[in-house]
DNA sequence: AGCCTATGTGTACGATGTACACGACAGGGA
DNA sequence: TCCCTGTCGTGTACATCGTACACATAGGCT
């Protein structure tokens, strides 16, 4: 993991932290540094403190999330695309729970850059679907999707009942605009 | 805070932890014990470890949340009651952010007891409003409300734009069932 | 050459969660 | 009366954490 010392240390550190996260371990700065092949104090040359490293990891997570949302959005029908985005969001949270939690732990500096990344993908579709009061529609949609993901992780959502989740997402999307008028 | 040694220690510890949370400090077991007027090891006579203490604090939070939801639910119109519940949920999260985060941090033992507490208050109203596919409606509603609260804390919800939030909640509730048929 | 800056090392400190052995103290049988 | 036993809290000790500090080293400039 930390063998190729030729690549820059910040990237190696982020990669090591990410892989520790995916492995389910709680990341410690010392362990990350060791996995990256450097001493415990080396990360401080590139990150102000542990929180800054975690913020960098979270950034990476937001990039991946945006990619997933973009892929799910590649559909003709706006309504279906929006629902698919929601399902992709949920799948992302379930596939990488620790990373997802980190992304929305708020310990990082200020609000997460959701607006410039994943957020925008969903906002476009919502605006297209609900031109009247698009801000409220966006907030409703984003809240439902994000809430479902966090409930799946830390709330009490029983298992991954795909049919139920699809139905719930459909309900929300249907509420944004009249479902299928002539 | 820790003066009245007559009352039982577990309650004093939970109270001390809660007040530290509300004060914005991150709770440390030693500090909590000191605030409760006992030594650092005393809590271990009543809680297996720090996580168990936090779980007890979270329980208290769920009780308070249920109370708030019940108060908001005291209305005639089901739709209005549901929206009021959402707003109360959001207000709770904003008023006691650290407690709210703790309640849904997942570090506690298993899923939070939402079902027996706050969850049920909302479920009743949703079932009353959307008798067809009530499970999906419940999931949609709960997700939207919880998601909006977490986004308000750790996502990038700008300020507390009450009008916008009310509109978003209305959209979701409207999606649960046709808004006002004859 | 000499030097400057960036980068990484080693050591040390305070704080944390917690394991362990001990002391104080109440209640109940002899 | 004494003692025995269980519950509760104390004090000490240890591993681990994040991180401040001083130092070593390497690469590019003049």
- Using an 8 Å CB-CB cutoff, list chain B residues near A175: 171-176
SS3 per residue for A34-58: HHCCCCCCHHHHCCCCHHHHHHHHH
**Mean pLDDT value across residues A132-149:** 94
Q: Could you state, in order of their start, the residue ranges of all structural domains in chain B?
A: 1-47, 60-176
Residue A97 has pLDDT above 90, yes or no: yes
Task: Tell which wins on pLDDT, B38 or A4.
Answer: B38
Task: Answer whether B155 sits within 8 Å of A175, measured CB to CB.
Answer: no
Chain-chain contact of A176 with B171 (C-beta, under 8 angstroms): yes
Q: Across residues A131-146, what is the average pLDDT?
A: 93
Measured CA to CA, the distance from residue B137 to residue B140 in angstroms comes to: 5
User: What pLDDT does A181 receive?
Assistant: 47
Instruction: Name the superfamily (CATH) of residues A59-176.
Output: Tetracycline Repressor, domain 2 (1.10.357.10)
Q: Min CA distance, B75 vs chain A (Å)? A: 23
Look at residue B169 in the predicted model and tell me its pLDDT. Answer: 96
* Higher per-residue confidence, B170 vs A130: B170
pLDDT, residue A156, reads 75
- Residues B11-34 have a mean pLDDT of 96
Domain B60-176 CATH (choose: 2.60.40.3120, 1.10.8.420, 1.10.357.10, 3.30.420.40): 1.10.357.10
pLDDT value for A6:
58
Q: Which pLDDT value is given to residue B6?
A: 58
Distance A40 CA to C16 C1' (A): 19
Cβ distance of A172 and B172 shorter than 8 Å: yes
Nearest protein residue to the C1' atom of D12, measured from CA: B41
Q: Say yes or no to pLDDT of A2 above 50.
A: no
Q: What is the mean pLDDT of chain A?
A: 88
Among A71-80, A113-122, A136-145, B119-128, the minimum mean pLDDT is found in A113-122
Place of tokens 């309640």: B103
Distance separating alpha carbons of residues B79 and B123, to the nearest angstrom: 13
Cβ atoms B112, B62 nearer than 8 A: yes
Percent of chain A past pLDDT 70, that is, above it, reads 88
How far is B127 from B78, CA to CA, in rounded Å?
A: 10
* pLDDT in the model for residue A160: 78
Check pLDDT > 70 for residue B124: yes
pLDDT digits (tens, 9 = 90+) for A4-52: 555 799 999 999 999 999 999 999 999 999 999 999 999 999 999 999 9
Checking each nucleotide's C1' against the CA of B43, the nearest proves to be D9
Residues A105-128: tens digit of each pLDDT: 875 445 555 556 678 889 999 999
Rounded Cα distance, B35 and B3, in Å? 9
Predicted pLDDT of residue B2: 40
One DSSP character per residue, A62-100 reads HHHHHHHHHHHH-SS-HHHHHHHHHHHHHHHHHHSHHHH
Q: Are B57 and B18 in contact (CB under 8 A)?
A: yes
pLDDT at A15: 97
B180 pLDDT exceeds 80? no
**Helix axis angle, A78-95 to A134-153, nearest 10°:** 30
- Closest by Cα among B65, B67, B38, B66 to B53: B38
pLDDT tier for residue B39 given thresholds of 50, 70 and 90: very high
* Statement: residue B57 has pLDDT above 90: yes
Query: Which of B140, B167, B168 shows the shortest C-beta gap to A168?
Result: B140
- Are B98 and B21 a contacting pair, CB within 8 Å? yes
pLDDT number for residue A182: 34
B126 burial type by CB count under 10 A (0-12 exposed, 13-18 middle, 19+ buried)? buried
Cβ of residue A104 closer than 8 Å to a chain B Cβ: yes
Query: What is the distance between the alpha carbons of residues B47 and B53, in angstroms, rounded to a whole number?
Result: 6
Q: Which residues contact B76 (CB under 8 A, 6 or more apart)?
A: none
């Amino acid at each position: 993991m930390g063998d190729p010392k030729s690549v820059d240390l910040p990237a190696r550190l982020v990669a090591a932290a990410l892989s520790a996260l995916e492995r389910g371990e709680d990341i410690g700065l010392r362990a990350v540094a060791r996995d990256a092949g450097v001493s415990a104090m080396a990360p401080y040359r590139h990150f102000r403190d542990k929180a800054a490293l975690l913020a960098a990891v979270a950034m990476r997570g937001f990039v991946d999330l945006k990619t997933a949302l973009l892929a799910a959005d590649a559909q003709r029908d706006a309504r279906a695309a929006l629902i698919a985005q929601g399902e992709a969001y949920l799948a992302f949270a379930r596939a990488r729970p620790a990373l997802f939690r980190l992304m929305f732990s708020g310990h990082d500096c200020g609000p997460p850059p959701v607006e410039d990344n994943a957020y925008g993908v969903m906002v476009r579709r919502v605006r297209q679907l609900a031109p009247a009061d698009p801000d409220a529609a966006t907030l409703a949609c984003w809240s439902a999707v994000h809430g479902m993901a966090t409930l799946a992780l830390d709330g009490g959502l029983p298992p991954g009942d795909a049919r139920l989740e699809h139905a719930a997402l459909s309900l929300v999307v249907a509420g944004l605009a009249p479902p299928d008028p002539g």
